[in-house]
Amino acid sequence: MKVLGVCLTVVGILLTLSQAFPLNSTGSIAKQSGLCEFDKQQCSNAIGSFCPQCDANGNFLPRQCWPSTGSCWCVDVNSGIEIANTLTPPGVVPVKCGRGNSCPYGWTSYAKRCFIFIDTPKTWTEAEIYCQFDGANLASIQSYEENHFLMSLTRGDTHNFPQTWIGGFDAIEPGYWMWSDGSKFYYENWYNTDKMYNRNETCLRMNYGCNKLHTQTANYNLPCVVIVEENTTL
């Protein structure tokens, strides 16, 4: 009965938020055209000129070919920069090109996952709904190195580490922390070893105190870090 009550409460929150914040308008992660699509729009109309080949996200396809010359080469899918020693002339079987960084445009790859920092403050529930609408989640942290990477991502070009929502929560069972993306909660970097500060603080933020993890009430407004698996189309 306790779990059922929690589930009904969560459903009520979701229904309320879906009415207050239409997800098909401002609630989804903005779809952006990649650099390839921009370059393609700038192509010359002259016969024989080169125009890049793009994927559905507007990023470069891993292999680029110039039909008028018959040459092919591999590129970085985000920047379009040619990868050294991959150019093949006409009549030669092109080398196999991997996708390399296969994150959506504007996202950053780490450990085969893609991350982006959203600096618009939201409550934890709003932030998670915002993520899930496009198949993403608030970020989970699996290691010290990944925590350091996320700290750098939230800092950006500043010298500050803003307190930021991540995907940890213990709303189902007090003290039993889980990640909203379903991964196991292994990594711990608590500001204090006591994880049971206030029973109203059921959600997790990073960059607290000496850049530690700390609990917070779900209705607090903070920026957030979003995560998707590589090769996800948004």
pTM of the model: 0.59
Q: What is the arithmetic mean of pLDDT over 5-17?
A: 40
Q: Domains (ranges, CATH) in the chain? A: 30-100 (4.10.800.10), 104-229 (3.10.100.10)
Max Cα-Cα span within the chain: 71
The Cβ of residue 82 has, within 10 Å, a number of other Cβ atoms equal to 13
Mean pLDDT of 212-219: 93
Distances (CA, A) of 102 to 20, 87, 106, 112, 184: 34, 21, 11, 9, 24
Tell me whether residue 234 is exposed, middle or buried, using C-beta atoms within 10 angstroms of its C-beta: 0 to 12, 13 to 18, 19 or more: buried
Match 């938020």 to its residue by tokens: 17
Res 234: pLDDT: 65
pLDDT at res. 151:
92
> Which strand (E) or helix (H) includes residue 154?
helix 144-155
Query: What's the confidence (pLDDT) of residue 99?
Result: 62
Span 158-183, average pLDDT: 91
**128: amino acid identity, one letter:** E
